[in-house]
Structure formats: structure tokens, C-alpha cells
Amino acid sequence: MASDRTEDNAQSLWYRAPGEVEIRRDTVAAPAPGEVRIRAIYGALSRGTESLVFAGRVPESEYERMRAPFMAGKFPFPVKYGYAVVGRVEEGPAEYRGRIAFALHPHQTLFNVPCADAIPVPEAIPPQRAVLAANMETALNAVWDAAPGPADRIAVVGAGVVGALVAYLCGQIPGTEVTLVDVNPERERLARALGTGFATVNAAERDCDMVFHASGSAAGLATALSLAGHEATVVELSWYGDLPVAAPLGGAFHSRRLRLVSSQVGEVAPSHRPRWTRERRLAAALALLADARLDALLAPAVRFAELPKKIAAILRPESGTLCQLIAY
């Protein structure tokens, strides 16, 4: 159902220059037929990708591929970016109105999206946990790309949000031995909360059947390659922007016949692409969040209005923040 109003006001977060963000006023038209209007309740910063956007480190070659759904502006600046908002549907078809939905939308208080892009949040999942849907979708796609099996020994290097979710998913496979590996020993608490093992880099067990790399650093990639067993696969989940990365492909890389493969959420994994749409994958990722243990990934909420003065500290690598929750 279309609104009688012609437009409403909203506020959105814009990356305007390297290290600078601001909140701008947006005018939101009445939802068109086939659209819903969502008023944001919670959102999340994607620390890996958004730190690169914040620093202006998106390579020119990736300007188009890195465009997020419903993004405004053009890289490098200014851009309205982000892709994790949970809110209540205020207007639209009757079956949507009043429901809590997730949308891959930039940080904004009020917005319209096509009905197909408003993914209903299952009632068993709190709205604040539902902000993890985009990260869970990335993790799910990575597990599909890698296809680990029962009883595999699996290492996940990098205990950020995506790495932790990959470890969590792999830990649901019967008999797997999953270890979350990180340079920060305090991440052991997170690993225990998610039901996986933990090791610092020097203590991690070698000869793994499969290794995922999600640290976003060249040192982490070197660690991932060192943990892989003979003819094992290393799945690269990190995205480095315009940063050159030295991969240690000498030594025993060839004699151990290792495979280094990429995984990226922009396309459904080839193993599932003939049958799965992105919408089905995102809905599945939301359903996988029905576990209170995943709340361990959420940092205490920061108010949307406070983001301009707090975002730099949040996005610093040393901040220790996992998923920064935004309260609208």
C-alpha cells in the first residue's frame, strides 16, 4: 500500500573524505508499489570493509564491484555506505507491515527498499543479533566454497567477526576439530563462547585438513599457509583493498601441493549457485543466528548520532571491537 505522504526526512551516515564522516539529511519519497518503508532500530559497522572505505583505500579497479546495495555517491568520496540495518516495516504490503526485517542498506534512520530486499527476521532472533546477517552470509558462503567434512581438522586464522562465524559453522559439523587462531590471547574467551578451540599463532597445531584465513594481514596469511597439511586448501577471506600483500609461496608451498583459493560473498558459491539465489542465502544466514552464543560478537551499542565522533576509534585495528552495534 502506498503512503499518502510524498516524502519524509531521514538521516544517513556519509564517508566524505579520508578519516571523515558526517550525518546528512536525506529526503525519503513515499514507498512505491512493491516497496516497504523501514525505520531502523539497530545497525552494525562492518569493521573490515568500512575501515578501508573510511581510509579511502578502495582500489579504483574495484569502484563498481565494491558498490553496496542502495549505496549513494561514488568512490572514493563522498559515499553513503554500509550493509547491515535491522528495523520495523512501517509501510508497504499488509504482510510486511509491523514486521522486523533485515536489509543490506547503508546506515540510515528511515528508508525504502523493494519487498524482496526486506528479509523478515525470525521471531526467535533478537533484532540486535540480526545485524550479524551480512557477516553470517559471508561465512556461510565461505563454508560452501571450502566444503569441509565430518572429522576434519580445521583452523581459522583471524578471530574477527567473519572468522569467528566460520569457526562457529564448521564446529556444527560432526566430529570436526576446529581451532580459532589469533595473535590476541584474549580471543580465547570468544572461542570458548562459540564452542571452538583456540590457539595463539605459535601454539596452533599444524597439518590441518583445511584452513580459513580472515585476519586481513600478510602475517596471518603466512600463518594460514603454515598450518595447512599436505595437499590441503587455504581459503582466503581477507580483502586488503589497495594494500600489496606478500604471500609466502616459496619454501614448501609447492612440495606440499597446497591450494590457495579465494572466497567472496558477491556471488553464491559455485556448489550452490544453480539452486540458490542471494535472497535465499541471506534468509538462511538469518536463520543460522538463532543461537544466543553469537551475542558474544556484539560490542555495546553506540548511538547513531555519535558515530561521527566515535567511528575513528571503533575502526582502529587495536580497538578490539568485533561487531559494533549501532542503536538508532
Query: What is the rounded average pLDDT of the residues 69-83?
Result: 98
Domains 7-132+290-327 and 135-262 share a fold: no
Spatial separation of the C-alpha atoms in residues 306 and 159, rounded to whole Å: 27
Residue 172 confidence (pLDDT) above 70: yes
pLDDT of residue 65: 93
What mean pLDDT value characterizes the chain? Answer: 96
Q: Find out whether 299 and 322 touch, Cβ atoms under 8 Å.
A: yes
pLDDT of residue 309: 97
Query: What is the rounded average pLDDT of the residues 207-213?
Result: 98
Residue 1 confidence (pLDDT) above 60: no
pLDDT of residue 4: 55
Binning pLDDT at 50, 70 and 90, where does residue 317 land?
confident
Handedness of CA 95, 98, 99, 103 (dihedral sign): positive
Residue 2 confidence (pLDDT) above 80: no
Handedness of CA 286, 297, 84, 154 (dihedral sign): negative
Query: What is the rounded average pLDDT of the residues 255-273?
Result: 97
Residue percentage of the chain with pLDDT more than 70: 98
Q: Find out whether 38 and 89 touch, Cβ atoms under 8 Å.
A: yes
- Condensed to tens digits (0 to 9), the pLDDT of residues 83-116 reads 999 999 999 999 999 999 999 999 999 999 999 9
**Which three-class secondary structure state does DSSP give residue 284?**
helix
Binning pLDDT at 50, 70 and 90, where does residue 6 land?
low
Residue percentage of the chain with pLDDT more than 90: 96
Query: What is the rounded average pLDDT of the residues 31-49?
Result: 96
Query: What is the rounded average pLDDT of the residues 12-33?
Result: 97
Residue 22 φ then ψ, to 5°: -150, 160
Kindly list the domain boundaries of the chain, sorted by start residue. 7-132+290-327, 135-262
Handedness of CA 318, 15, 35, 67 (dihedral sign): negative
Of the candidates 205, 108, 98, 102, the one whose C-alpha atom is nearest the C-alpha of residue 157 is 205
Query: What is the rounded average pLDDT of the residues 212-239?
Result: 97
Residue carrying the nine cell digits 527476521 = 121
pLDDT of residue 7: 80
pLDDT of residue 275: 98
CATH of range 135-262; options 3.40.50.2300, 3.40.710.10, 3.20.20.30, 3.40.50.720: 3.40.50.720
Binning pLDDT at 50, 70 and 90, where does residue 290 land?
very high
- Condensed to tens digits (0 to 9), the pLDDT of residues 133-164 reads 999 999 999 999 999 999 999 999 999 999 99
Answer whether CATH 3.90.105.10 is correct for domain 7-132+290-327. no
Residue 181 confidence (pLDDT) above 70: yes
Q: How far is CA 92 from CA 6, 15, 88, in A?
A: 14, 30, 11
